[in-house]
Structure formats: C-alpha cells, structure tokens
Structure 1
Amino acid sequence: MAYQQPHYQSQQPLPTMGMQVAGGNRNAAGKPLHSNGKRDWSHSLCGCMESCGTFCCACWCPCIVHGKNKQRLGHLMHNGQPDHDGGSCCSGSCWAHCCLSGLGLSWILQCSNRGTTRERYGIEGGGCGDCCASFCCGPCDLTQVSREIELEEKSFRQRY
C-alpha cells in the first residue's frame, strides 16, 4: 500500500456574501455603539410623553400595551417582518399581565420582555436595570419598549 501525500489547497477560498440577519434596521436611530458593541436606547425612559397615546394606554391598560409589545417583538423575531395587525389586544401575554397585575407582579413579565428587546437591539444594560425600570415606572418602560420595536417596524416601510 502506497503512502499518499495530503492535498493542500494552494488558493484561498473566494469571498462569499455575508450572512444577512432577518428583520429590519435594529439601530434605526443611528445610535453610536460603545466599545463593547452595545448602544443606548433610542429614546430615554423619561421621553415617554413623546408617544402620548402609547403612554396613556400604558397608564390605564398596561396589559394591552404589554401584550402588543410581546406579540410585535415575537413576530419580528420569528418572521423577520412586522406584524401587519400591529399585535393583538387580547393575547395570552395580555391576559397573563392582567392577572399578575392583581397581585402586583406584572412588572416581572415586563422585565422579561424588556430584556428580550434589549438583547435583540444590542442595547446596553442588564437584568437589574430591566427590573428597576419595569417595577418603578411600568408605563414608561412599556412605552420605551414599544418605541424601540416601532423603529424597526418603520425601517421596513422605508425600504419598500
């Protein structure tokens, strides 16, 4: 049996198209990235009055805003495009938030959704900050998350 020399590639492989991430622009406001690759929220937590309708709904019916946020974000993550219905008012997430509100624990669901949103958009922060924002000012948190999702949804309309 003869010994075979290993075959070595003499040329580098040709470049290929980079991997495309499904979805819209995840930094539509063009926020600068920090050295760790993360960025700030596109809108401040206290800037919730700039979206007065969402903020008012979050004050009086936070379960609806939470349910819509969760559904819109889930649709973007799983389908790579916005939910044409804008998220259902009466989803399971909405009812869970409503039930936990009676126990004063709805902020836990908001904290989880805020963390998911922060991860998707590469936003600076952590679980402790998510919990503080959700617990201390639920309507502001819901509005900020909604506005971040809305920026990605709007980026689709600008492309087409």
Structure 2
Amino acid sequence: MQPPQQQQYSQGANVSNQQWSADLCDCSPCESCMLSYWCPCILLGKTSDRLRDPTMQSADTCNGDCMIFCAIQAITGCGWIHVMLKRGEIRQRFGIQGSGFNDCCTTYWCPCCSLIQQDNEVKARTASGPIVQGYQPQAGMAVGKQ
C-alpha cells in the first residue's frame, strides 16, 4: 500500500470521476500564458512530454505533438482539434469528468485557456510520482521456482 502523497494514476483508470484541479480561467504561470498565446505548439509539446516523462529529463518541446499541431494549423487553421484530442487523452488518463463535446467547446472557444489548464493539470497530477501504466504486481506476489 502506498502513502497518500505517492498516489499514482493508471492510464485509462477511472479514479472516482474527478474534477480538473486547475481552473479553466487560471492563466498562471505567466510563462504558460505567454506560450499558449504566442507559441501554443510549444506548450502542447511540453505537456505531451510531461505525460510521457514527468521528470522532463528527456524533454523535447518540438516533438511529434508540436509538429502535428503546427501542420494542422498551417494547412487547415484547425490546430485546436489536436488540442481537443490531447485534452480527451488527459481526461481519460486521470479519470476527470467531462465529455468530448465539452472538450470540443473548450478548445474551440478558448484554446489558450485549454492549453494552460491541461499543462497545469498534468504538472499537478504527475508531481507526486510517475504515471503507472499496465499491471503492477502486489507486494508479496512473486513468480519463481519452487
């Protein structure tokens, strides 16, 4: 059993239908606010990297998510669609209440606020420990020769 400060979240696990811990209209920190307005692809890339590696040791802000966003935005002007899909992934991973319709409306009408909220949420949820994916053996369970 893990102490409460080291609570870990499973991918796809519905952890009691939680709410977003970060408010949609909370534009802090200032760096995130500036990035979401001037270079949203960079903030999306940082958030994606933080989902993969909460320590950010191997962070590359110009990663695949950043490039996909840039390509969609340049060709169609609909980069918000990629942000919406990432938002749904974050909601599912951390068991946050909501729907695809809410994600669509939020990212379409306020993409900057959505990006900041997503980044703040991932920071808060991964600060206490790594994201556990897949099966984790219970203490005392071992496979071995007898």
Is TM > 0.5 for Structure 1 vs Structure 2?
yes
Using the aligned pairs only, state the percent identity: 33
Compute the displacement of 1:50 (Å).
Answer: 2.4
**Pairwise mapping of residues 81-160 of structure 1 onto structure 2 (< 5 A)?**
82-85=54-57, 87-102=59-74, 103-156=76-129
3-state secondary structure, aligned to 1:90:
coil
CA contact (8 A) 1:107 1:138 kept: yes
CA contact (8 A) 1:41 1:148 kept: yes
Amino acid of the structure 2 residue aligned with 1:97: F
* In 2, Cα distance between equivalents of 1:86 and 1:40: 29
Paired positions, count: 121
* TM-score, L = length of structure 2: 0.73
CA contact (8 A) 2:49 2:56 kept: no
Gaps of 5+ in 2: 10-14, 131-146
Amino acid of the structure 2 residue aligned with 1:126: S
4+ residue runs over 4 A deviation: 23-26
Structure with larger Rg: 1
* In 2, Cα distance between equivalents of 1:25 and 1:39: 14
**Paired residue for 1:40?**
19
Amino acid of the structure 1 residue aligned with 2:38: W
3-state secondary structure, aligned to 1:155:
coil
**Paired residue for 1:60?**
38
Compute the displacement of 1:127 (Å).
Answer: 0.2
**Paired residue for 2:50?**
72
Gaps of 5+ in 1: 1-16, 27-35, 77-81
Higher relative contact order (CA 8 A, sep 6+): 2
* In 1, Cα distance between equivalents of 2:83 and 2:99: 14
CA contact (8 A) 1:72 1:86 kept: no
* TM-score, L = length of structure 1: 0.67
